[in-house]
C-alpha cells in the first residue's frame, strides 16, 4: 500500500466505526455511481449503441442501487435520499464527476478538435476509463477496511464488475485511437487532481 492508500484506509476505518457516517458514505458512493450511470446513458448515440455500453450503464445503475440497499444493514431509516444532509462532502461529491467530464471534454475539443457525437463518445471513453481505474483502487481498500472491522456491509460484487469494466474500457479505447495512451494518461491526471480534492474534503469532514 502506498501512502495515499494508507490514508484512505484510515479514513474508511474511521467512517466505518461510526454507523451514521458509514451510512452517509454508502449513500455518497451510491450518488456517485448513479451520476456515472446517468452520464453513460446521456452520452449514448441515438442508434449506435453496443452491448458493452448497455451492460455498463445497467451495472453502474445496479451499483447505485446496491450501495443504497447496504444502508439497511446499518439502519434502514438512515439516508433516505441524496439530500445534502445525508451525504459526506456533498459539494465535492457532486462536483467530482461533473468537473471530470467538463475538463476531459475541453481537452478533447482543444487537442483533437472533436465535436458533436464524436466528442460525446470520446468523453465517455476517457471519463469512464479514469473512473474505472479509480474504482479498482478504491473499492478494494474499502472492502479491506470492512473486513478488518468485521462489518456486514460488503462491496465484493461491485469490485468484480468494476474489473470487467476496466477491461472493456481498454478494449474500446484501443479501437478508438492508436494514440489512446496519451489521451488516457491525460484523463488520469485530471481525475487524480479531482479525486485528491474529494478525499481531502471527506477527511476534513470526518477527521476535521
Specify whether the CB–CB gap between 59 and 41 falls below 8 A: no
- What lies within 8 Å, CB to CB, of 137 at 6+ separation is 5
List the helix and strand counts (H, then E) for the chain: 8, 0
Q: Residue 59 or residue 103: which is nearer to Fe ion going by CB? A: 59
Rg of the chain over CA atoms, in angstroms?
17
Binding-site string for Fe ion from residue 138 to residue 157, where x marks contact by CB under 5 A and - marks none: --------------------
Q: Residue 17 or residue 144: which is nearer to Fe ion going by CB? A: 144
Shortest distance, CB of residue 3 to Fe ion, whole angstroms? 25
Shortest distance, CB of residue 100 to Fe ion, whole angstroms? 14
Residue 162 binds to Fe ion (criterion: CB under 5 A)? yes
Shortest distance, CB of residue 166 to Fe ion, whole angstroms? 8
Give me the half-sphere count of Cα atoms (radius 13 Å) on the Cβ side of residue 24. 19
Q: Residue 5 or residue 163: which is nearer to Fe ion going by CB? A: 163
Q: Residue 108 or residue 155: which is nearer to Fe ion going by CB? A: 155
Shortest distance, CB of residue 40 to Fe ion, whole angstroms? 9
The closest of 38, 9, 25 to 70, measured between CA atoms, is 25
Q: Residue holding cell 478494494?
A: 140
Stretch that binds Fe ion, among 1-9, 25-33, 82-90, 139-147 (CB under 5 A): 25-33
Residue 43 is given by DSSP the state: T
Burial of 21 (0-12, 13-18, 19+ CB in 10 A): middle
Stretch that binds Fe ion, among 58-66, 67-75, 97-105, 200-208 (CB under 5 A): 58-66
Q: Residue 14 or residue 38: which is nearer to Fe ion going by CB? A: 38
Residue 53 grid cell: 455500453
Shortest distance, CB of residue 113 to Fe ion, whole angstroms? 29
Phi-psi region of 150 (alpha: psi -120 to 50; beta: other; left: phi over 0): left
Site size with Fe ion, rule: CB under 5 A: 5
Residue 63 binds to Fe ion (criterion: CB under 5 A)? yes
Which parts of this chain interact with Fe ion (CB under 5 A)?
33, 60, 63, 162, 165
Amino acid at each position: 500500500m502506498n501512502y495515499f492508500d494508507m490514508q484512505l484506509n484510515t479514513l474508511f476505518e474511521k467512517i466505518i466505526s461510526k454507523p451514521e457516517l458509514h451510512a452517509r458514505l454508502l449513500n455518497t458512493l451510491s450518488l456517485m455511481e448513479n451520476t456515472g450511470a446517468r452520464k453513460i446513458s446521456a452520452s449514448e448515440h441515438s442508434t449506435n449503441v453496443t452491448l458493452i455500453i448497455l451492460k455498463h450503464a445497467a451495472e453502474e445503475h445496479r451499483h447505485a442501487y446496491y450501495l443504497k440497499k447496504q444502508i439497511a444493514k446499518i439502519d434502514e431509516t438512515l439516508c433516505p435520499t441524496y439530500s445534502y444532509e445525508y451525504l459526506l462532502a456533498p459539494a465535492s461529491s457532486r462536483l467530482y464527476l461533473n468537473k471530470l467530464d467538463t475538463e476531459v471534454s475541453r481537452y478533447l475539443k482543444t487537442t483533437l478538435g472533436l465535436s458533436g457525437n464524436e466528442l460525446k463518445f470520446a468523453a465517455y471513453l476517457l471519463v469512464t476509463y479514469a473512473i474505472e481505474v479509480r474504482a479498482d483502487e478504491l473499492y478494494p481498500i474499502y472492502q479491506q477496511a470492512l473486513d478488518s472491522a468485521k462489518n456486514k456491509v460488503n462491496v465484493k460484487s461491485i469490485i468484480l464488475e468494476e474489473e470487467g469494466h476496466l477491461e472493456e474500457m481498454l478494449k474500446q479505447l484501443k479501437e478508438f485511437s492508436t494514440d489512446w495512451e496519451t489521451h488516457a494518461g491525460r484523463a488520469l491526471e485530471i481525475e487524480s487532481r479531482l479525486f485528491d480534492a474529494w478525499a481531502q474534503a471527506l477527511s476534513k469532514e470526518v477527521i476535521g
